[in-house]
């Protein structure tokens, strides 16, 4: 398991506000240590949280773990109702059929989606659901997903998995 504490930058607030801005730009995990008498920032990004000293070791560990868990949520692809796939601060527009095929792959990100399930989606969309047609649709989806840094991996004879490319 990765030591998340080493991934979190500890920044004194407001003394090191430039360091905070740099963390936000680079999307580094950042725990702001709010100095005595200072107000915490009005808005926080997904990648930051704040505490006031003194803070106990256990409380600090919980904050760091929660911060890392929130950031992981942003590492999963999101397919919005408008047919736009968002991942890793990039996006790509997809056709209706591509959205329908991609929905179970995104919902079960990193997990197997069976070929039969994707063929049923093609049938319901009124498209050919032959094995060759499915492979053609997957090939086109692979090209579209490269734009956002995702890949569709073939699990031979079973189905497909979407993962970082």
Bridging pattern class, strands 48-51 and 29-34:
parallel
pLDDT of 40? 93
What's the half-sphere exposure (Cβ side, CA atoms, 13 Å) at 24? 13
CB atoms within 10 A of CB 65: 13
Q: Say whether 80 sits in a helix, a strand or coil.
A: coil
How many Å is the Cα radius of gyration of the chain? Answer: 21
Could you read off the pLDDT tens digit of each residue along the chain, which spans 165 residues? 344 445 889 999 999 999 999 998 888 899 999 999 999 998 888 789 999 999 999 999 999 988 887 766 567 898 988 899 988 778 899 999 999 999 999 999 999 999 999 999 999 988 887 889 999 999 999 999 999 999 999 999 899 999 988
Q: How far apart are CA 145 and CA 31, in angstroms?
A: 33
pLDDT of 157? 87
* pTM (global) more than 0.75: no
pLDDT of 55? 92
* CATH numbers and ranges of domains, the chain: 4-73 (no CATH), 78-164 (1.10.10.10)
Q: How far apart are CA 7 and CA 63, in angstroms?
A: 13
Chain centroid to CA 9: how far? 20
């Amino acid at each position: 398991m990765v030591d998340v504490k080493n991934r979190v930058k500890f920044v004194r607030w407001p003394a090191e506000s430039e360091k905070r801005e740099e963390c936000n730009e680079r999307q580094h995990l950042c725990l702001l240590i709010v100095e005595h008498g200072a107000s915490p920032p009005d808005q926080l990004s997904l990648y930051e949280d704040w505490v006031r000293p003194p803070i106990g070791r256990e409380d600090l560990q919980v904050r760091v773990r929660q911060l890392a868990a929130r950031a992981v949520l942003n590492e999963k692809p999101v397919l919005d109702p408008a047919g736009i796939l968002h991942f890793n601060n990039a996006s790509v527009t997809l056709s209706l059929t591509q959205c329908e095929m991609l929905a179970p792959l995104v919902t079960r990100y990193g997990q197997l989606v069976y070929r039969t399930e994707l063929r049923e989606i093609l049938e319901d969309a009124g498209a050919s659901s032959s094995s060759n047609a499915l492979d053609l649709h997957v090939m086109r989806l692979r090209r579209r997903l490269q734009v956002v840094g995702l890949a569709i991996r073939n699990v031979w004879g079973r189905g497909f998995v979407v993962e970082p490319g």
